[in-house]
Each structure stands twice: as C-alpha cells, then as structure tokens.
C-alpha cells in the first residue's frame, strides 16, 4: 500500500463535558468531571479530493502536569494550547506530506515550543496525538481501508531513516514488522481499581449513584465477569498493603492477571523497595503477587530515570508511563532496568508503534523475551476515543488493556440518543444498550473487537463516526 501525501486543510476542535458517576482517584488527584475534546480534520490529496477524519480524548487534569499549584482549568488550558499549537504547525506545512512526515517534521519543534512555555513533554505530545489520529482516520476513509489493513500496509509511510526521531531503530525492518501484525478479535478488559473505589458491598459509598451499574469492585466482578485487574497504589506502604489484602479477598478466585500502578507516588527506588518487600512477604497476598505481571510507574517522574532499578526489576517487572514523555524515553528506561512501557492514546499512536518495534528488536537479541508493551488508559470513554485505542492495541496484538470508563462514567449517557445508537449500529459487538444508555459490552471480562478490524477509517466506520457534532460546543 503506497503512502499517500496530502495537505492538511483544516482542523477544528469541539468539547463535551463528561461527569463521572463515581470519583476516580489516582495518585494525589481525584477526578469527578472533565471535558472530552473532539478533533475534526480535513485533508486534501494531490488530485484535489478531500477527506475528513476525527478523534477524541478526555482532558484529564493532574496527570499530564501534576503540579499542585495548577487548577484543573489551568491543566485544561495547557492541553488546549498543545492542540492549537499542533494545528498551527500542521496546517502551515507548505508541501504535501505523508501522515508520518506530518508528525515527524513537527514533533521536535512542538516539544521545544512547549518547553519554552514551561509545559511538560506529556502536555506537548497531547496535541499531535489527537491530530495524528484524525488525519489517519481521514486517510483510511479516503482509501476505504481499515486501521489494521492501513497500518500493516504502511499507508502512513512510517520511515525511520532520516527522521532523527528513533535512531536506535535505524537498522530495523519496519515495513516487515508492520506487515506481520494481525489484529485480535477479542481482548481482556483490565478493570481499574481506583484509590477511592469501594471494595466490597459493605463499604459502598453512601452517595453511590442508583443507576443500576456496579458501585463496588465486588459488584463489578459479578456484572462483567472480570479476570484482569489494575490496582492503583497510594505510595504509603502500610495503607497499600492493607488495601491490597482487602482487594485480594474479592478477586483471588477470579483474577488471571493483575497489574499495579504507582502513579509516581513512591519517592524513590528505596521507598518502593520497602513496599515490594512487604507485599512479597505478606501471606494473604501470595496469590495476588504471583499473578502480578508488572508495576507501572511506581517512582515519581523526576526521579524515575535518575537511578538504576535493575535489582527491583529482577524481582518484579517495572513499566514506565508518566516518564514515557519523549520518543526516546523507553530507550533511557531500558538502560536503567525497566522492561515495559505503556501504549496510551494520549501519547500518540506512532509512539506505541515505535516502542512495540523496540520490544521486538530487543527481545530478538536475548534468550528469554523481557521487553513488553502494555495497553493503558486515562479514563478513555465509550465512543470514538475507546474505539481508536482498542483498534490500536488489537492491531499490536495485546491480549489485555486497561479499561476504566465503563466503571467511572455512565457509558454514552452524555451523548444524544442518536449518537449512542449510531455508534452501536456501527459496532454492534462492542456496545450494548442497558440501564438507560449505550455502553461497552464486557462479557466474561472480554471485549468483542471484530467490528473494529473491518471498519473503514481509524475505527470510525464512516465519515463523522456517528458523532453528533452539533451537540457540542465548538472552541478554539
């Protein structure tokens, strides 16, 4: 499949407020509501034909930049700046380019401008992450290609040589790697257990919504048949060990796989080692520890890549997430003993592809595969955002992905009925209508991805993706 060059004619943004049905606490932050931004992009091919594509993502406060001095609204404005700055860069390109070169030619400059404004690299990556998805959706729809077939055929034109973005992959056969990927039709939903979540039915929150949906971990296990879990840690060893014991009593008979997420809450490697000693020596946690695949970003980002953690990594695999802020972060982390990195849509799907390629290259050079990519979430909501994220991790061949929107948000209840049913018609296996709204259909802990593999576009199915654009506020 030949990479198509195009101009970016227009990029527009719209927002929809999303109110959480349950508070989502991770690290020191508790989220109860935030905007979801939608991107619509129009591209023009050499023959004058145009195509439109779209993308969506939550604007979660206190993750991209966790400074306590910033308000949630200031966090949102940081992300809006990143979107506006990326739009200006992409639409100003004088020559037609491939989808990859639109990204590659602007990546460094966008990071530099954000840094000059005092913004975190994760903030700078947010704008191109969404715009790249919208552009690729338009390109796929123009060719009538699904995301999986377009990626395997390298319709984006991914070319490491000369890009200066991933020199460590200069000798890697990227076209062959892309061609070998085959999308999964099912994936396990790794259910998030947030720090504010009620664990069993006896400690349900007094103001829990009466909406027919689970309000406790125990109830979620029963409803969704969950087998994969992601458990948030608070960074206080005594509190974390006590809470893990309570969680273990609920999930031990169900869990096939567990991951732990520190969200930067441990000050340094020694602090985290104290927790790990306690967890691995607590009898009640033996089963949970045996099923724990990795610990995600236990150490705060300003310290995580300052010290070798190989000794800890030999005891339990360690994954970077917030520290994965630049395209070469995984390379740096590997040298320090980390073996995993997150695929997260808010960081950009090209970064996921590059890191997956690194895992293949590095594992080929060792006797036993050690390096891995894991699908992670940032309150990804039912609809366009979750569809695109699932299409990506399915094509990458991941067997499980963190999902949390099904628990903290009432499905697509914030969207008009017409949009809800349009999305369900496009992806009937992925969604169901229950308890008054269309929502993800998680059955026996699994998600049905069969419609995503065949859908034209970047998991949209048609131009506009069934989104009720007129029902949102157009902004910036």
**pLDDT class of 161 with cuts at 50, 70, 90:** confident
68 within a domain of the structure (yes/no): yes
Full domain range(s) for residue 287: 186-458
Say yes or no: 190 and 275 in one domain.
Answer: yes
Between strands 400-403 and 431-434, the pairing is: unpaired
Residues in Cβ contact with 116 at an 8 Å cutoff, skipping those fewer than 6 apart? none
Supply the pLDDT for residue 449.
Answer: 97
Residue 120 has pLDDT above 80, yes or no: yes
Say yes or no: 126 and 202 in one domain.
Answer: no
pTM of this prediction?
0.97
The last residue of a domain, from among 125, 141, 169? 169
195 within a domain of the structure (yes/no): yes
CA–CA–CA angle 334, 121, 29 (5° rounding):
95
174 within a domain of the structure (yes/no): no
DSSP bridge partners of 341: 320, 373
CA 24 to chain centre: 16
The last residue of a domain, from among 169, 197, 218? 169
Q: List pLDDT tens digits, range 26-37.
A: 988 899 999 999
Contact between 64 and 123 (Cβ < 8 Å): yes
Say yes or no: 162 and 245 in one domain.
Answer: no
Supply the pLDDT for residue 476.
Answer: 66
Residue 254 burial by CB count (10 A; 0-12/13-18/19+): exposed, middle or buried?
Answer: middle
Supply the pLDDT for residue 208.
Answer: 86
192 within a domain of the structure (yes/no): yes
Between strands 340-343 and 318-320, the pairing is: parallel
Q: List pLDDT tens digits, range 296-345.
A: 999 999 999 999 999 999 999 999 999 999 999 999 999 999 999 999 99
List the CATH number of the domain containing 12: 3.30.390.10
| Count: domains in the chain | 2
How many CB atoms neighbour CB 71 within 10 A?
A: 11
230 within a domain of the structure (yes/no): yes
Q: What is the mean pLDDT of residues 174-183?
A: 96
Supply the pLDDT for residue 379.
Answer: 81
Residues 138, 131: Cα–Cα separation, whole Å: 11
Say yes or no: 141 and 230 in one domain.
Answer: no
**Which of the 8 DSSP states describes residue 377?**
-
More confident residue, 284 or 453: 284
175 within a domain of the structure (yes/no): no
Say yes or no: 111 and 215 in one domain.
Answer: no
% of the chain with per-residue pLDDT over 70: 100
Average model confidence (pLDDT) for the chain?
A: 96
């Amino acid at each position: 499949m030949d990479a198509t060059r195009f101009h970016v004619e227009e990029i527009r943004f719209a927002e929809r407020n999303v109110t959480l049905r349950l508070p989502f606490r991770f690290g020191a932050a508790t989220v109860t509501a935030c905007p979801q931004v939608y991107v619509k992009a129009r591209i023009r091919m050499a023959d004058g034909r145009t195509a439109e594509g779209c993308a969506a993502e939550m604007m979660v406060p206190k993750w991209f930049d966790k400074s306590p001095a910033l308000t949630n609204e200031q966090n949102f404005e940081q992300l809006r700046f990143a979107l506006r700055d990326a739009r200006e860069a992409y639409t100003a390109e004088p020559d037609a380019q491939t989808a990859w070169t639109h990204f590659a030619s602007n990546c460094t400059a966008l990071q530099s401008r954000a840094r000059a404004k005092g913004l975190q690299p994760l903030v700078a990556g947010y704008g191109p992450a969404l715009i790249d998805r919208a552009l690729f959706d338009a390109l796929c729809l123009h060719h009538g290609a699904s995301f999986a077939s377009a990626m395997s055929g390298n319709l984006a034109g991914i070319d490491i040589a000369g890009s200066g973005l991933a020199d460590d992959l200069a000798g890697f056969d990227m076209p062959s790697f892309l061609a070998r990927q085959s999308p999964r039709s099912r994936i396990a939903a790794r259910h998030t257990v947030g720090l504010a979540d009620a664990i069993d039915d006896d400690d349900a929150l007094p103001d829990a919504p009466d909406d027919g949906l689970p309000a406790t971990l125990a109830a979620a296990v029963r409803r969704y048949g969950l087998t994969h879990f992601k458990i948030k840690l608070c960074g206080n060893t005594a509190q974390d060990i006590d809470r893990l014991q309570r969680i273990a009593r609920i999930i031990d008979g169900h869990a096939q796989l567990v991951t732990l997420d520190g969200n930067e809450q441990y000050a340094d490697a020694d602090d985290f080692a104290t927790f790990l000693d306690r967890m691995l020596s607590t009898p009640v946690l033996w089963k949970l520890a045996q099923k724990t695949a990795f610990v995600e970003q236990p150490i705060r980002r300003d310290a995580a890549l300052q010290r070798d953690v190989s000794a800890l990594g030999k005891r339990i695999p360690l994954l970077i997430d917030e520290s994965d802020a630049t395209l070469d972060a995984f390379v740096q982390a590997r040298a320090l003993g980390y073996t995993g990195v997150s695929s997260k849509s808010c960081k950009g799907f090209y970064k996921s592809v590059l890191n997956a390629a690194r895992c293949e290259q590095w594992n080929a050079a060792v006797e036993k595969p050690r390096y891995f990519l894991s699908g992670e979430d940032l309150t990804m909501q039912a609809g366009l955002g979750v569809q695109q994220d699932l299409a990506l991790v399915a094509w990458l061949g991941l067997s499980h992905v963190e999902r949390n929107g099904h628990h903290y948000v009432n499905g697509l209840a914030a969207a008009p009925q017409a949009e809800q049913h349009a999305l369900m018609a496009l992806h009937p296996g992925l969604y169901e209508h229950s308890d008054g709204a269309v929502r993800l259909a998680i059955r026996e802990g699994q998600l049905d991805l069969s419609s995503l593999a065949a859908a034209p576009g970047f998991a949209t199915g048609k131009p506009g993706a069934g989104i009720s654009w007129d029902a949102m506020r157009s902004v910036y």
